[in-house]
Structure formats: C-alpha cells, structure tokens
C-alpha cells in the first residue's frame, strides 16, 4: 500500500506517478484489482475541474488532505473515482480513467455483465462498477482500509500524454496520461 506522503504531489506529477500502480478493493463480495493504465489531472485553476470557482458540499474532499477519494456522479447515471492530490487547501484530483484487470476478474464480469476482459475497466465509470466502488467510498483515505493503491506492479513502460477527453472546457490541456500501447486504455 502506498504511504500517505506519496499522494502529496502536484496533480500532473501524481497522474503520471499512478500509472503502473495497482488499485485494490477488498469488498464483502470479494477482492478486485487492476493496474492503473490511464489518468487525467484536474486542478482548481482549471475550468474543467469540479474544484474550479469555489468549494461546495460535492467537491469539499478535493480541498482536503491528499490521498483521499473523490467520488462523483456524472451524466445522471455513472460514478467516477478520483485521487485527491497536492497539499490540503488546494482543490486537485486525478481521475482514474482505465485499469488493466488483475484480480477478481470473474466478479468484475458479473458486476459489468460483460465477458471481454478489455471491456471491464476501459473507462472511468466502467472501472468503478467493475471494482464495486460506491458513493460510500467518498472521502476515504487510499493509504489505509479496504480501498487502496499499491506500489507499481509494472515498470519500464513509455508514458503518452495529450488532451483530456469527455469534457467541454479546457480541452486543450495535455493532462491525460496513459501507458503507451496498453490495450486496456479507454481510447
């Protein structure tokens, strides 16, 4: 499990550093995990960020200590999972966009009602569903408990970066990071 201090990084640096790490969820239904293969960074100075403008009940955790979860509902039907970054008081987070499934694949298939392993976690809402992450996980620390991130499980990969996807503002920022040529990225 990564230490609390790992998460105290600039949001773009954390988005890059999380690549290759493993996200693990030990739920009552069973353990699931996946290698983080794609991320996006968001900052309070960024119009596309939920922390842009001011604090609210929805985004409060983004201004809290780094290494906590920011879970939000989008499009009226999907949950997304973020890792809070930077020092307390700065609204910043890393959206986990895609995972390469590693453990609990049958449970992921059951939760997603999909058989193809490439379709289980190749998008932010898909991975939340496959991993069994819920609104109840909002604000939890990722350095203790049943939802956590481990040290990198793969190394020596090339990182690609470019514009974020699925947003309407600040689309030009090259704040999306992914493991080059990984078959489990979202696009």
**Residue 145 covered by a domain:** yes
CB atoms within 10 A of CB 60: 14
- pLDDT exceeds 90 at position 79: yes
pLDDT given at position 185: 96
Structural domain contains residue 61: yes
Q: For the residues 81-86, what does the mean pLDDT come to?
A: 97
In a domain, 186, yes or no: no
Q: What percent of the chain has pLDDT over 90?
A: 79
Q: Where residue 46 sits, what CATH number does that domain have?
A: 3.10.300.10
pLDDT digits (tens, 9 = 90+) for 60-75: 999 999 999 999 988 7
- Other CB atoms within a 10 A radius of the CB of residue 119 amount to 16
Alpha carbons within 13 A on the beta-carbon side of 128: 24
pLDDT tens-digit map of 100-142: 999 999 999 999 999 999 999 999 999 999 999 999 999 999 9
**Spatial distance between the Cα atoms of 55 and 72, rounded to a whole number of angstroms:** 14
- Is 23 among the domain residues? yes
At 89 the pLDDT is: 94
Residue 168 pLDDT level (bands cut at 50, 70, 90): confident
Structure confidence at residue 49 (pLDDT) = 84
Residue 184 is assigned to a structural domain of this protein: no
Domain annotation covers residue 157: yes
Predicted confidence at residue 3, as pLDDT, reads: 96
pLDDT of residue 92: 96
Domain count, the chain: 1
The reported pLDDT for the residue numbered 48 is 82
Instruction: Give me the domain span that covers residue 31.
Output: 4-179
Residue predicted with more confidence, 164 or 32: 32
**Is residue 128 in a domain?**
yes
Can you state the angle between helices 124-131 and 105-112, rounded to 10 degrees? 110
Asked whether the whole model's pTM tops 0.85, one would answer yes
Four-point Cα dihedral 97, 101, 120, 124, nearest 10:
-10
Give the pLDDT band (50/70/90) at residue 144.
Answer: very high
Average pLDDT rounded to a whole number, residues 151-171: 88
């Amino acid at each position: 499990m990564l230490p609390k201090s790992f998460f105290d990084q600039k949001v773009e640096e954390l988005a890059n550093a999380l690549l290759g790490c493993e996200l693990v969820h030990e739920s009552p239904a069973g353990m699931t995990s996946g290698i983080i293969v794609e991320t996006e960074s968001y900052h309070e100075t960024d119009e596309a960020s939920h922390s842009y403008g001011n604090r609210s009940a929805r985004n409060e955790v983004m201004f809290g200590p780094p290494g906590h979860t920011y879970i939000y509902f989008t499009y009226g039907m999907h949950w997304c999972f973020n890792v809070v970054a930077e020092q307390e008081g700065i609204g910043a987070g890393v959206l986990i966009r895609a995972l390469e499934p590693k453990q609990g694949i049958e449970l992921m298939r059951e939760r997603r009602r999909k058989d193809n392993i490439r379709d289980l976690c190749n998008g932010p809402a898909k991975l939340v569903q496959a991993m069994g992450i819920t609104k109840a996980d909002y604000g939890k620390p990722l350095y203790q408990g049943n939802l956590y991130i481990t040290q990198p499980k793969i190394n020596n990969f090339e990182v690609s970066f470019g514009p974020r996807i699925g947003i309407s503002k600040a689309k030009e920022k090259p704040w999306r990071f992914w493991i080059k040529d990984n078959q489990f990225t979202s696009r």
